[in-house]
A and B are shown apart, each in its own frame.
Chain A
């Protein structure tokens, strides 16, 4: 029996659905649902975490991330402008810095700033305690990544924009601040948000610094509660907390992109 291509495509799609449904049914039948609920969605464990998971752990994660991102953005902008400088040594310095901090694991930077600094310079410590170290470490690593993004954004602004601004009598610096950099940031908003999402997750490294119960962030909190409760519910809870940060970020960016798409 000869089948037309269109009929064959329909049949193939039908088979794919059937296979999917069978797999799901088998999975449901084989799962130990009672155990899954007890281990992953244990309400008693959830109750012991509430409300500290939000009021302390999530809050601290947001603070560490925001401070690291803020410092990183500033550093990234400076590094990007140095990369574009007409003065050679600034370019080399910036390139070296970027390559170094992009290549070294964030964890190493954390350890170096925490233990390394106090060993190398006895009596000296990074100011601002854990938050100071976290800001510095996350900012150094994030800044190195963001520098390349920002540089690409600045270079993506058409040359005519700078020329038009200069022809109106603006200085190079003024034209950068008022005309070029705002447009560059519009262009790089999506990659910059990815950077923020990555940094949110990197903030979990703060736990190698040690912490008090008031300084605990999501990952450390989850791990500690996991040890107490002997089930996986705390990890599910902190995973949801991370998503609570990252998903709205994606939505905000999509909105902003749509708006700047209209304005361009």
Chain B
């Protein structure tokens, strides 16, 4: 197994001519995208447009059918690359939270640190508690996920990803399963992360977040990137008919 070096000069994520098909159903039809270090790129589009699949191809939860994905200069689509090592540098937060229900909140945050990063227990717990504090849930360390509200669970999920000290974060419609009044807390945490310089790729329906926090906005439809640019420009003055049609429905 090769151990390629992280290239500090390379873009955080670089996607080249990415195709993905499930059987006969082509979900991604040639995506080219670059996410610079420290950038926040928001991906919007109608459901079924392939935006979640695109995100999941970055950390290889989905195997691309063809094309290349580079993370910090390492070609993750190379069959020889250590996928687990790459994934441990990419945090991911899911729509359905996916907290481990049989483990306490603290254990949710320490188990991967201990098993993957081989940190000792006190170091793990120190990092975990700092991240719980960051998402405003330091008093929930000993609770179990089922005892938390959706918004709290999602903040724990963010803290869990952060505890691996990743170089970048992927957010997959993280507020879509939340009650409306709980969305704000989660977005606030994400905004704080962005302000700290975290590289983020965010699949979202929150246009306000995209406009305010995003450096770059990508509109996808039918497995291709239809329009891309400064969020204010794309949202305020969309160039393509499909973008206009989509935005007129959601704004």
Contacts and interface: CB of A to CB of B under 8 A. Distances in A.
A169 B85 contact: yes
Contact of B100 (A166, A174, A179): A179
Determine chain A's interface SS by DSSP, over half rule. helix
B111 A178 contact: yes
B90 interface: yes
Contact of A168 (B85, B87, B96, B146): B87
A104 interface: no
A14 B162 CA distance: 68
A67 interface: no
Contacts of B168: none
Contacts of A263: 101-102, 144, 146
A168 B88 contact: yes
A169 B87 contact: yes
A168 B102 contact: no
Contact of A170 (B61, B116, B157): B116
Contacts of B89: 169
Size class of the contact patch on chain B:
20 to 34
B98 A161 contact: yes
A164 B84 contact: no
Contacts, number: 70
Interface in A157-173: 158, 160-161, 163-171
B102 A166 contact: no
A167 B92 contact: yes
B84 A169 contact: yes
A168 B160 contact: yes
A183 B98 contact: no
Interface string A4-23: 00000000000000000000
Interface in B116-170: 116-117, 144, 146, 157, 160-161, 164
A166 B61 contact: yes
B112 interface: yes
Name the residue among A168, A170, A183, A264 with the largest chain B CB count within 10 angstroms: A168
B249 interface: no
28 contacts: A158-B96, A158-B98, A160-B96, A163-B61, A164-B92, A164-B99, A166-B61, A166-B87, A167-B87, A167-B91, A167-B161, A168-B116, A168-B160, A169-B112, A169-B117, A169-B164, A170-B115, A171-B84, A174-B116, A178-B111, A182-B102, A183-B100, A186-B102, A262-B146, A263-B101, A263-B102, A264-B101, A264-B102
